[in-house]
Amino acid sequence: MLTKRIIPCLDVKEGRVVKGVQFVSLRDAGDPVELAKFYDEQGADELVFLDISASHEGKETMIDVVRQTAVELAIPFTVGGGIRTLDDMKNMLRAGADKVSVNTSAIDRPELIAEGAAYFGSQCIVVAIDAKWSEEDGTWMVYTHGGRRVTKWTAVKWAQEATRLGAGEILLTSMNKDGEKSGFDLELTKAVREAVNVPVIASGGAGNAQHFYDVFNEVDVDAALAASIFHYKETSVKEVKSVLREKGVSVR
């Protein structure tokens, strides 16, 4: 039986992990490769690197980070942030990433999803969706540019369109819940989970191990992602998995 995946996310800027972490065991907590290895040893099922570099040099550095990570890591990892063209995808996948995730660039030019899927296969193409509840529309709307700009897409419609174009997985972040640590957005996640036939990763709102159980139990998502609670050691991948295992959720 397929297990539920726990995915730590690392924000990387100019080759350094931001929201820096104080892991005593690490020589350099800002080194993405060191942190990636740490999470691998903790039992993380997959990792996501989100490149938030603004400069061109930062993006070049990211390719090096990916290459070094591929040397060290024995679990799959996804790279997102600033991937705008098929060439950007090629650079990351050839450097050793297993998947690339696209967000704003796919909204701007949805064909990018189809091009990527045709070239590399759907399994390499993750579409990241940032969604926020809109009272006016009575549903969740998709935002781009790191949550600064609203689009005409509802989360459900965009997830369906992205999948139709060839997305192999949806990484769904609730902007309402992000940073709140009050649990994943179960309603949003459920709406998208039911709308598509590809794996869905829930993101935004994890505050403790129980929240992971809730999202797996109530929504049957395939994976759940968190950043700060792992980085700040409020819980660990190990602890989350042992709680899930006790409650009968199948994990590695």
Partner 1 sequence: MKIGVIDYGMGNLYSVEQALLRLGCEVSITADPNVLDQMDGYVLPGVGAFPDAMNRLRDSGMDLYIKQIEKNNKPLLGICLGMQLLYEDSMENGWTEGLGILTGHIQKFEEQDAQQNRIRIPHMGWNPLSFTHQPAWLQDLDKEDSTHVYFVHSYLAQKTLQKEVVASSTYAGQFVPGLVQKGSITGMQFHPEKSGPFGKYLLAKWVEQVNERSGQK
Task: Name the residues that contact partner 1, by CB under 8 A.
Answer: 1-3, 5, 40, 45, 67, 70-71, 74-76, 93-96, 98, 120-124, 168-169, 197-199, 222-223, 252
Closer to partner 1 by Cβ: residue 110 or 166: 166
User: In terms of CB distance, is 141 or 191 closer to partner 1?
Assistant: 191
Q: Which of 45, 51, 130, 222 is catalytic?
A: 130
Query: Catalytic: 130?
Result: yes
DSSP of the chain: -PPPEEEEEEEEETTEESS----TT-S-TT-HHHHHHHHHHHT-S-EEEEE---SHHHHHHHHHHHHHHHHH--S-EEEESS--SHHHHHHHHHTT-SEEEESHHHHH-THHHHHHHHHH-GGGEEEEEEEEEETTTTEEEEEETTTTEEEEEEHHHHHHHHHHHT-SEEEEEETTTTTT-S---HHHHHHHHHH-SS-EEEES---SHHHHHHHHHHH--SEEEESHHHHTTSS-HHHHHHHHHHTT----
**Nearest approach, Cβ of residue 197 and partner 1 (Å):** 6
Q: Considering the complex, what minimum distance in angstroms separates the CB of residue 39 from partner 1?
A: 12
Residue closer to partner 1, measured from CB, 168 or 207? 168
Q: Which is nearer to partner 1, 107 or 167 (CB)?
A: 167
Q: How far is the CB of 96 from partner 1 (least distance, A)?
A: 4
- To partner 1, the closest distance from the beta carbon of 199 in angstroms equals 5
Which residues form the catalytic set?
A: 11, 130
